[in-house]
């Protein structure tokens, strides 16, 4: 069996056949950095990171492009509230997104283009659409340019909708439109908007529409036709429908497969800012280590909603720690053959491969992972070192595909954090025995020995303070 993916354009599971053998081009819609990231944003990034890891593990050379929509109505409005230039506001939150992606071990994309760096590509694309009769400047002189949905018979094909079932596009005053469902490719500059938020075009100054940005950036880095376009389910319509319509109307075949991840919901409601029940990454990682958040986001199937209820985080922590405890114990018993293994060379259990090839079936894949942990624990208990090593390497390699290998240097903050705790405990025991010897020397009036102990500790960077409750030690603060 080889990789099969659910293509949400045809609503069928299809064999993955790349445009160029051995290569895979993937475009994922990235952040609009108007405010900080929540867990829904991280889910999308993690899902397509697992796709990238699985494609690479399957032998493909992957080019993954994830954009930043660094200009948008909300960014402009919020930057005014914050009293900073729009570009500063966008960059501040772009950095927060970058830190959040990194915190859950999302591999940096091959490229991360910003919309504002691709205005010329966008103007070119609009020009092609105008020339082909699929776009027109607004009749009201606003400087907007719209896509003419009635000129493109396939409009609605991605989401399987007829034109008459669709809502009007709420992106501009409909008076300038031929059809209320026509959507803005370009938005003319409005009075009161900062001059830095507009660019010159043949149709006047203005800024790009969101849908157009993604088409232009995907095409620039992946070509007129590429393999997979991904994003959250909420982007299917109108965003992805419009991306596909404008690119195909301009003559580009565009994406061959469409993948959409489901939502993260809290007690049954879609998590979104508008509902006011956002779970920010900052709030989550205060409760559990980031690796547990990653585990929580990775283990359900990407097309199923994740419902966060009381106890979800603890449940994920317990499940992840079963993996971690086995790997750490195996590393203690077996040493470098576990910690320094080249995971790319480790054979994966066939059950895991079959599950991942079946539209990234992570629930079945994670079940194989936990079975292997159980087998490994039994092997350790029976002092079966070969069995334990085989299991430990397989567990690490499977966990690595999901981005949750406990020995991944990325997680040093969590696993290493525990190692640091252990070091501190060991150091405390050693310093305590020195301090006990010092107390005994003083009781015997052997002040020379007592002072020598204190001097020795001080030379090691340990400060001793005598308190009514006994001697306390601290590590000297580094200057």
Give me the residues that bind Zn ion (CB under 5 A), please.
Answer: 29, 214
Q: How far is the CB of 67 from Zn ion (least distance, A)?
A: 7
Residues 30/279/100/290 CA torsion (nearest 10 deg): -130
List of residues 6+ apart from 326 with CB closer than 8 A: 373, 376, 377, 380, 391, 392, 395
The DSSP 8-state label assigned to residue 249 in this structure reads H
Nearer to Zn ion, 184 or 214 (CB): 214
- How far, CA to CA in Å, does 54 sit from each of 1, 48, 58, 81? 14, 10, 6, 43
Nearer to Zn ion, 105 or 116 (CB): 116
Report the SS3 class of residue 388.
helix
Give φ, ψ of 107 to 5 degrees: -60, 130
Nearer to Zn ion, 94 or 400 (CB): 94
Nearer to Zn ion, 28 or 369 (CB): 28
Nearer to Zn ion, 24 or 29 (CB): 29
Between CA 254 and CA 217 the distance in angstroms is: 12
Q: How far is the CB of 13 from Zn ion (least distance, A)?
A: 24
Nearer to Zn ion, 214 or 366 (CB): 214
Q: How far is the CB of 51 from Zn ion (least distance, A)?
A: 16
Task: Let me know: does 5 contact 44? Beta carbons within 8 Å.
Answer: no
Helix pair angle (362-381, 385-401), 10° resolution: 160
| Residue bearing tokens 């960059």 | 91
Q: How far is the CB of 23 from Zn ion (least distance, A)?
A: 22
Nearer to Zn ion, 212 or 353 (CB): 212
Between CA 76 and CA 232 the distance in angstroms is: 23
Q: How far is the CB of 132 from Zn ion (least distance, A)?
A: 22
Q: How far is the CB of 229 from Zn ion (least distance, A)?
A: 8
Between CA 225 and CA 228 the distance in angstroms is: 10
Angle at 46 between CA 297 and CA 336, to 5 degrees: 90
Number of H helices, E strands in the chain: 15, 15
Total length of the chain: 479
Q: How far is the CB of 231 from Zn ion (least distance, A)?
A: 6
Written as six digits, the tokens of 243 are: 């991306």
Nearer to Zn ion, 29 or 76 (CB): 29
Q: How far is the CB of 340 from Zn ion (least distance, A)?
A: 41
Nearer to Zn ion, 176 or 208 (CB): 208
DSSP class per residue in 141-167? SS--EEE-GGG-TTTTTTTT--GGGSP
Q: How far is the CB of 170 from Zn ion (least distance, A)?
A: 18
Nearer to Zn ion, 216 or 323 (CB): 216
Q: What sign for the dihedral angle of Cα 304, 310, 313, 318?
A: negative
The DSSP 8-state label assigned to residue 174 in this structure reads G
Between CA 335 and CA 338 the distance in angstroms is: 6
Nearer to Zn ion, 247 or 298 (CB): 247
Nearer to Zn ion, 29 or 42 (CB): 29
Q: How far is the CB of 378 from Zn ion (least distance, A)?
A: 48
Between CA 325 and CA 305 the distance in angstroms is: 29
Report the SS3 class of residue 205.
coil
Between CA 76 and CA 195 the distance in angstroms is: 12
Q: How far is the CB of 7 from Zn ion (least distance, A)?
A: 17
The DSSP 8-state label assigned to residue 240 in this structure reads I
Q: How far is the CB of 155 from Zn ion (least distance, A)?
A: 17
List of residues 6+ apart from 76 with CB closer than 8 A: 86, 193, 194, 197
């Amino acid at each position: 069996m080889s990789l099969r993916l659910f293509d949400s354009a045809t609503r069928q599971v299809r064999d993955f056949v790349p445009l160029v053998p051995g290569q895979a081009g993937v475009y994922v819609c990235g952040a609009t950095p108007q405010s900080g990231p929540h867990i829904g944003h991280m889910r999308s990034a993690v899902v397509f990171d697992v796709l990238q890891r699985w494609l690479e593990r399957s032998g493909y050379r992957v080019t993954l492009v994830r954009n930043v929509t660094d200009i948008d109505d909300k960014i402009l409005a919020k930057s005014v509230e914050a009293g900073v230039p729009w570009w500063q506001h966008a960059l501040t939150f772009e950095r927060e997104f970058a830190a959040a992606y990194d915190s859950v071990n999302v591999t940096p994309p091959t490229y991360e283009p910003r919309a504002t760096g691709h205005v010329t590509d966008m103007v070119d694309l609009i020009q092609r659409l105008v020339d082909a009769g699929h776009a027109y400047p607004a009749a009201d002189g606003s400087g907007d340019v719209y896509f003419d949905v009635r000129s493109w018979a396939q409009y609605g094909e991605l989401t399987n909708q007829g034109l008459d079932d669709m809502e009007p596009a709420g992106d501009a005053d409909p008076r300038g439109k031929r059809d209320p469902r026509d959507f803005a490719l370009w938005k003319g500059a409005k009075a009161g908007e900062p001059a830095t938020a507009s660019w010159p075009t043949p149709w006047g100054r203005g800024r790009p529409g969101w849908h157009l940005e993604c088409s232009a950036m995907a095409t620039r880095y992946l070509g007129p036709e590429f393999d997979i376009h991904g994003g959250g389910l909420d982007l299917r319509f109108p965003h992805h429908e419009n991306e596909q319509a404008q690119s195909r109307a301009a003559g580009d075949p565009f994406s061959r497969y469409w993948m959409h991840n489901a939502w993260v919901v809290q007690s049954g409601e879609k998590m979104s800012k508008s509902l006011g029940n956002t779970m920010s990454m900052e709030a989550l990682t205060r409760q559990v280590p980031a690796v547990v958040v990653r585990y929580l986001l990775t283990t359900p199937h990407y097309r199923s909603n994740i419902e966060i209820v009381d106890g979800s985080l603890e449940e994920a922590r317990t499940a992840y720690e079963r993996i971690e405890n086995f790997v750490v114990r195996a590393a203690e018993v077996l040493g470098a053959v576990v910690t320094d293994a080249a995971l790319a060379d480790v054979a994966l259990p066939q059950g895991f491969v079959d599950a991942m090839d079946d539209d990234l079936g992570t629930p079945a894949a994670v079940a194989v992972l936990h079975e292997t942990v159980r087998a490994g624990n039994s092997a350790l208990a029976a002092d079966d070192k070969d069995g334990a090593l085989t299991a430990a390497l397989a567990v690490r390699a499977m966990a690595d595909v999901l981005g949750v290998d406990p020995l991944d240097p990325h997680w040093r903050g969590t696993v290493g954090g525990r190692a640091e705790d252990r070091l501190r405990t060991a150091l405390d025991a050693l310093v305590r025995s020195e301090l006990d010897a010092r107390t005994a020397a003083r009781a015997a009036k052997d002040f020379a020995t007592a002072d020598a102990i204190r001097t020795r500790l001080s030379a090691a960077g340990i400060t001793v303070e005598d308190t009514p409750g006994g001697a306390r030690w601290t590590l000297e603060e580094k200057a």
